[in-house]
A = this chain, B = another copy of it.
Amino acid sequence: MDRNGYTESSGRTECGLQDSPEWCALGNTDLEDVEKHARCRCYETGEVIFYEGDPVKGVYFVKAGLVGVRKADLNGNSTLLKLAWPGDTLGYRPLLAGQAHRAGAEALRQSVVCMIDARTARTMIEQNPALGLNFLKRAARELGDAEQKFHDSVTLHTRTRFAHLLVVLQDRFGRLADDGSMHLDLPVSRSDIAAMLGVRRESVSRVIHELEDTGVAHFVDRSVVVPDPGSLAVEFAR
């Protein structure tokens, strides 16, 4: 382990890059080459992986856990731009745009993250068309989502946006029960939900209260039950 706590990977499967929808394009030799230049490290909850404004030292492959990407404003508030799950690669955007990090990343629970140094990542993406194409497609999808998010933020109310968020999380982490109700464990705190929506945590509290009152959803700690998932879609018309 070096002094930053990174441990050099040895085997081809150390980082698990095969499980990345982007890096999987690489052949065995390239994959081994990349893993040789990768360092894996475990982060505790709340630990920072990189800071907003930092120069890009590499790209970060999330191997396990959950990572949040944040942007702070001048008043100490922050928005949570996205959640990164195992298989996601962070930092490729500023690397390719030739910019510093425009957002910071932080472990939202204990996580394992592999850093691939910038030089290696850049040459690999530039030399290997299939890899570049995968990142291009990823960027294209993320760009569409980001534009949608801007549009939503200026046209929809907090309650509607919260309903949207619930549906997105539902698609990924919801379990449909026998009686047709949807069960979901929120991956993040109330404060972080607020940061994802770009509102105050008090506003989230009030929206949750409203959804309870109208029977649309029931919240206990981080677990949510939506008796009739269809009723969430109705929220969109508000």
Please list the residues of chain A having a beta carbon within 8 angstroms of any beta carbon in chain B. Answer: 71, 73-75, 77, 79, 81, 92-99, 102-103, 125-126, 129, 132-133, 135-137, 139-144, 146-151, 153-156, 198-199, 237
Find out whether the CB atom of B150 lies under 8 angstroms from the CB atom of A153: yes
State the oligomeric state as a number of copies: 2
Given A126-B129, A153-B153; 19 other pairs, CB 8 A cutoff? A71-B147, A71-B148, A73-B155, A79-B154, A81-B151, A93-B140, A94-B140, A94-B144, A95-B140, A97-B140, A102-B144, A102-B147, A102-B148, A126-B133, A129-B129, A132-B132, A143-B146, A153-B198, A154-B198
CB distance from A147 to the nearest CB of B (A): 5
- Interface of A (DSSP majority class): helix
Cβ contact of A79, chosen from B74, B139, B155, cutoff 8 A? B155
CB distance from A138 to the nearest CB of B (A): 9
